[in-house]
Amino acid sequence: MSRLNSRQRDAVNTFISFTHSSEARAVQYLNAAKWNVEGAVDVYFSNPPPPEKTKFDENSIAKLFQNYSGGAENIEQDGIERFFKELNVDMTDVVSFAVLWQFRAKSPNQLTKQEFVDGFKRLQCSNLNDLKSKIRGIKKDLEDENIFKEFYIYMFDFTKGNKKTLDLPVALYLWETLLTNKFPHLKNWIAFIQEHHKKAINKDTWILLLDFSKINLNEYDADGAWPSLIDEFVEYVKQKKT
């Protein structure tokens, strides 16, 4: 994108975030639409092009892996932090977890070579700049309810380690990170858990809380198949209102 001006670079990045296409294809469609992003995206989806043949060079990704692993078998925490810094991604941003989800990482503190290589291949990226261009699209994908639910469930297994349950401080941090602006009663839920539960969170409660976050409390069915913890929370909220 070296020949493009700043407005055109922004247009290319926006087009890629919506279509997950290559830079070359983005420029092609934007040129045809006289650099109108909305028009270019409309044409792209109304008449989809044939799949692009991605030139994926596993050796180059393996070299990139070595850069972050320092020659070790895995990328450890310091290498992961440097990886995200060079991606211009804040590790407290939900998209950092979404990238690790795309890599199918099994641990937040370690990336294996297989996870790293497969992640780049899955995202059709041949280098770090390719991955940078996909970040906005990865984050936007989380707006889809089905994709977000898959990601949300992954986060339980990703962060629990070898345990069957998720440590409460981790669960609280993740809920605040993942469910802000998605769960209207999040602040009450956090307060309730801190006051009355004080135990690790099991997977059933973790998953069903996401379903619960989408319903109106006035429509809550206490005889439904909800965990007892959620039943208790509903009573807690009702008592606060009286």
How far apart, in Å, are the Cα atoms of 236 and each of 107, 175, 190, 233?
35, 19, 12, 5
131, amino acid identity: L
Could you tell me if 186 and 175 are in contact, meaning their C-beta atoms sit under 8 angstroms apart? yes
pLDDT tens-digit map of 94-139 = 999 999 999 999 999 999 999 999 999 888 888 998 899 889 889 9
pLDDT tens-digit map of 181-238 = 999 999 999 999 999 988 999 999 999 999 999 998 888 887 788 999 999 999 999 8
Which DSSP helix (H) or strand (E) runs through 38?
A: helix 37-46
Q: Is 201 helix (H, G, I), strand (E, B) or coil?
A: strand
Return all residues near 197 (Cβ < 8 A) that are at least 6 apart.
Answer: 168, 229
Could you tell me if 68 and 83 are in contact, meaning their C-beta atoms sit under 8 angstroms apart? yes
How far apart, in Å, are the Cα atoms of 36 and each of 8, 89, 203?
10, 27, 46
How far apart, in Å, are the Cα atoms of 20 and each of 23, 57, 98?
9, 19, 15
Could you tell me if 73 and 113 are in contact, meaning their C-beta atoms sit under 8 angstroms apart? yes
C-alpha–C-alpha distance, residues 192 and 229, integer Å: 10
pTM: 0.77
Top-ranked range on mean pLDDT: pick from 26-30, 145-149, 171-175: 171-175
